[in-house]
Every structure is written in C-alpha cells, then in structure tokens.
Amino acid sequence: MEYTTLNTGAKMPYLGLGVFQLADLAECERVVDEALAVGYRLIDTAQGYGNERAVGKAIRAAGLPRAELFVTTKVWVANNSYEGAKASIGRSLERLGLDYLDLLLIHHPFSDYYGAYRALQEAFHAGTLRAIGVSNFYPDHLADLVAFNEVVPAVNQVETHVFCQQRAAKAQMEALGVQIEAWAPFAEGRDGFFGNPTLAAVGAKYAKTPAQVALRFLIQSGVVVIPKTAHPARLAENFAVFDFALDADDLAAISALDTGQRLLMNHYDPATVQRFKRLVEERKDNPEIN
Ligand SMILES: NC(=O)c1ccc[n+]([C@@H]2O[C@H](COP(=O)([O-])OP(=O)(O)OC[C@H]3O[C@@H](n4cnc5c(N)ncnc54)[C@H](OP(=O)(O)O)[C@@H]3O)[C@@H](O)[C@H]2O)c1
C-alpha cells in the first residue's frame, strides 16, 4: 500500500473500498469482510448509503488493530446544520461501532453546510474526528469554505477518472493543502470505460487490466481512489496496482483521455439540488441514514 499524508499529519491509504450501492446489508458486510482479507484498510461509506452498520460489523469481525484502519463516512444532506451534523456524528459512530472516525466529509454542498462544518471543526478539535473534509465542493465552494473557516479540509472527494481528470480543481486543492479523492474512479463503467483501447494498450505492456491502469494513473497522479466492486476477484484485481509503474509515455497517453467534463453528476445544475431535496424527503424516516 502507498499512503498520502494529510494536512493533519495522518496517513491515508491511496486505495480503499467504496461501498455506495451496497444497500443490501448482508452483501455489504460480505464485501467489506472480503476486502479487509485482501488487504484493503480504507473503507468509504456515508450516512446516505444506509450501510454504516454493515461496515461496522465487518470491521469488528475482522479484529484488525483500529490504528490500521481508515474509516470515512459522510454527513447526509438532511444533517447539514450545526445541530444536525453534531448529532449525526454520534449516530454514525454508534452504527459503525467506533469511538472515532478517521475522516468525516460533508457529502454535498447543499443546505446549511457552513453550520455542519462548524460542528465538524468542534469534533475535530475534540479528537472524535481525526480529519474532516468535504465532497463535491467545486473550486468556488472550496475557496469560500477555506477562506472563512479555521480548519482547512483535509480531503475533497470529487468525481475523478481518466475521462474527467479535474486538473484545475486538483491544482487548487494542492495549493490549499487539500487531498483530492476520486469518487467513481471507473466512471461507473460509462463510455466503454473497461474496454477503453488506450487503457487496454497500456495495460498490455504490464499484463494489467484497464481497471488497474486507470487506478494506477490516478494514484501516480496523487489522487486517492475508492473503487467499488461486489466481486471477490475484482476486489483483488483492483488492489493489485502497487507492483508496476506507468512511464511518461503511458501518462501522456492517458492524460489525453481527459474531456474536462463530469459524466455523472453536476452540483451546479438546479435539477441536482431538486433531486437531493426529494431524496431527503424519501429517506427522512430511515434511522440508518438520518
Ligand atoms: N461523494 C460522492 O458524492 C460519491 C458519489 C459516488 C460514489 N462515491 C464513492 O466512490 C465509490 C466508487 O464510486 P462508484 O461506486 O460510484 O463507481 P466506480 O467505482 O467508478 O465503479 C463501480 C462499478 O465498476 C464495476 N467494477 C469494479 N471493479 C471492476 C473491474 N475490475 N472490472 C470491471 N468492472 C468493475 C462495479 O461492478 P461490480 O460491483 O459488479 O464489480 C461497479 O458497477 C463509491 O462506492 C462511494 O464510496 C462518492
């Protein structure tokens, strides 16, 4: 495993498992259990995924030293307020069965995320949160949050993959000391991702798959990745990216795949805000989320 050092001084693995869309709790528990056996130590969940309890069960069953693990969760939009976020930290810890989190992110820059960030800063100072950060904060939102708050976010998790390399946003994050973390490092398979001829040609040089080349490219560029898979063989495949290195020609060829466009979500689109407003309403009685 390779690690990045956050602005808190803590080490964060460059590769972890994302558990979005593992809503079946038994399945989520099985996948996390298998991932920990493969060697994954970073698990990325969220209040909104409704599976924190399953992640916690698998972590406890593995019996690994707590210090080896890096557990991230995210504040659901409904909890974006000072009081809401503060209370939700306790509920996430209870569901995960942990007494601290390695990283808590504000999931989306909607509703009262300034209030939520104040609660995160308090819990960071108290030591309950070892690092705090944000997700889906585009450069203007990130600049604003950093300018008017005391604690610089340790991480910003944004859609990042070879088709959307986030060059300008990444440069801003590097200048601010914010670690970039890629969600959907495979673009959720869109646009022929796993059959991409450039990724396949580069992979052929090293006997690696397009998925492995894509992850290696991001890690080598300083991006933390959290690919999701429910399949044991793919968990192992996605983890086997530390025994080869891309050369300058490979990096140039893959850099050229960047379209500069997000494929999956646009937080500037008013329709996205409405979508999340509907989700907040639909999920309001779910005790595993709120
Ligand atoms: N902050 C946010 O707003 C946000 C948004 C989205 C995601 N995330 C986080 O980022 C994580 C990853 O993103 P994601 O789940 O959206 O998408 P992703 O990791 O880009 O892609 C997951 C898809 O790729 C498939 N896959 C995985 N490994 C593969 C391989 N080696 N070969 C072929 N197919 C493979 C998976 O299918 P199988 O499962 O069938 O293998 C699944 O359909 C999430 O789990 C979540 O933790 C965060």
The CATH number for 197's domain is 3.20.20.100
Q: What is the 78 CA–ligand 1 centroid distance (Å)? A: 24
The answer as to whether 290 is a domain residue is no
Please answer whether residues 74 and 47 qualify as being in contact, where contact means their C-beta atoms are separated by less than 8 angstroms: yes
What is residue 36's predicted lDDT score, i.e. its pLDDT? 98
Q: What is the 189 CA–ligand 1 centroid distance (Å)? A: 8
Mean pLDDT of 21-30: 96
The answer as to whether 287 is a domain residue is no
Q: Is the CB of 187 under 6 A from ligand 1?
A: yes
Looking at ligand 1, which atom is closest to the CA of residue 135? 1
d(CA 220, CA 255): 12
Mean pLDDT of 256-283: 97
Identify the three-state secondary structure at position 11.
strand
Please answer whether residues 45 and 76 qualify as being in contact, where contact means their C-beta atoms are separated by less than 8 angstroms: no
Whole-number Cα distances in Å, 96 to 29, 46, 99, 120: 12, 11, 9, 18
- Note the pLDDT tens digit of each residue in 124-148: 999 999 999 999 999 999 999 999 9
**Residue ranges of E strands in 100-146:** 103-106, 132-135
The answer as to whether 89 is a domain residue is yes
Enter the tokens of residue 234: 């793919």
The answer as to whether 191 is a domain residue is yes
* pLDDT more than 70, % of the chain: 100
Q: Which of 3, 14, 40, 49 is catalytic?
A: 49
Q: Is the CB of 237 under 6 A from ligand 1?
A: yes
The answer as to whether 289 is a domain residue is no
Alpha helices in 3-71 (DSSP H): 25-38, 52-62
What is residue 69's predicted lDDT score, i.e. its pLDDT? 98
Q: Which of 75, 142, 183 to mutate to test the pocket of ligand 1 (most atoms within 8 A of CB)?
A: 183
Domain count within the chain? 1
When the pLDDT of each residue in the chain is averaged and rounded to a whole number, the result is 98
The answer as to whether 178 is a domain residue is yes
The answer as to whether 144 is a domain residue is yes
Q: Which domain holds residue 134?
A: 3-282
- Angle (CA) 287 46 134, round 5°: 130
The answer as to whether 288 is a domain residue is no
Whole-number Cα distances in Å, 172 to 3, 52, 141, 152, 179: 21, 31, 12, 13, 10
Q: What is the 227 CA–ligand 1 centroid distance (Å)? A: 5
- Note the pLDDT tens digit of each residue in 215-252: 999 999 999 999 999 999 999 999 999 999 999 999 99
Of the pLDDT bands very low, low, confident and very high (cuts 50, 70, 90), residue 277 is very high
Of the pLDDT bands very low, low, confident and very high (cuts 50, 70, 90), residue 150 is very high
- Give nearest CA residue, ligand 1 atom 37: 229
- Give nearest CA residue, ligand 1 atom 24: 188
Q: Is the CB of 231 under 6 A from ligand 1?
A: yes
